[in-house]
Structure 1
């Protein structure tokens, strides 16, 4: 097989793996991890079920790939937020603004990361821990920026955790009551917490 053919095959394999992972994330969010089968994922990804096992041997392997996406997306968001703004308070405000862009999906379905942390815990604990890293990264970013703004480390960490808890609590309640205004209020409280 020639080098361009190998490259095309690798590229198709990467695209299939990405499609499978994206389909799984969507199904886990809408249907739940326990209710989603590998056959469901294959159908949603438009991949023959037998081919799915070439990429992911087990559902736990697929859960880990989904968790890896959470971490990569969170890391990219934080890097972009840090690069876009120069001053710590503005970076924190920009982070809240970025998080608020996902509000409609969060109100409709809850927080995919939180759902997966919980749902992966029993059958795929490594994936659960990996997904939780996205939250740790958010807390770390907020605490560092608060520290750069002059807050002592213990207060900066406490406020960062409070801001994340506000966001997650707002998502849960907004989703449960199907009321987007609840999440909007949570974002305003996050902004106040991070500005204080």
Structure 2
């Protein structure tokens, strides 16, 4: 049975996301991505005119992952529980994070060196997380919700950076536990 165009495109984006996370944008070639997706390298150009177009598709996929992650967190009954569910996601990814960093943070950090608009697009999934966390913290009755949401996500990203730099998944787990305790103080103090 022939592969559908949508199936090839999805495989290219999924393979690109994994390789960009593991190797970085600069070290990943379109040939690497095509090989990982089991698609002839010439076919890549049918779906994506440039490597940057493929990177944009990865960012869009990350946006979808964030949307799904936040929707799952919404199942928790209380804002503090939803915030804890969010930070636990990084605890669940602790081994991958310790080896390659946070998929959202590492891509945004690498593309931040550019000044062509792709840098701002890469920050979109992070902005979405910050906006959502701000809403949860505001629901806890905190006026400085944006500042606290930034502190929360800085704690996640800092834990991811340290876990990756030191190749120690326990650092990510410990940071998640610390952030859960901090969230409890946000819920208790008004």
From 19, 23, 43, the equivalent of 1:31 is 23
Which residue of structure 1 aligns with residue 188 of structure 2?
A: none
- How many residues get paired? 185
Matched with 2:42 is 50
1:132-186 Cα offsets, whole Å, 9 max, x none, are: 111111111111111111111x2x2211111111111111111111112211121
* Cα distance in 1 between the residues matched to 2:149 and 2:88: 16
> Which residue in 2 is equivalent to 1:116?
107
1:128 alignment partner, one of 119, 124, 139? 119
Tell me whether 1:158 sits opposite 2:150 in the alignment.
no
Task: Name the one with the larger helix percent.
Answer: 1
Contact map agreement 1:116 1:128 (CA 8 A) in 2: no
C-alpha contact 2:90 2:97 (8 A) present in aligned 1: no
Shift of 1:15: 0.9
Residue 106 of structure 1: CA displacement? 0.5
- Correspondence for 1:141: 132
Give structure 1 stretches of 5+ with no counterpart: 1-7
Q: Summarize the Cα distance change of 1:122–1:94 in structure 2 as closer, same or farther, 3 Å threshold.
A: closer
More deviation in 180-189 or 40-49? Answer: 180-189
For 2:96, which of 98, 105, 127 is the aligned residue?
Answer: 105
TM-score normalised over the length of structure 1 = 0.87
TM-score calculated relative to the size of structure 2 = 0.90
Deviation per CA, 1:17-63, whole angstroms, max 9, x where unpaired? 11001111111111111011111111111001111100011010001
Please provide the CA RMSD for this pair.
Answer: 1.9
Gaps of 5+ in 2: 186-190
The answer on whether the counterparts of 1:117 and 1:131 sit within 8 Å (CA) in structure 2 is yes
Runs of 4+ more than 4 Å apart: none
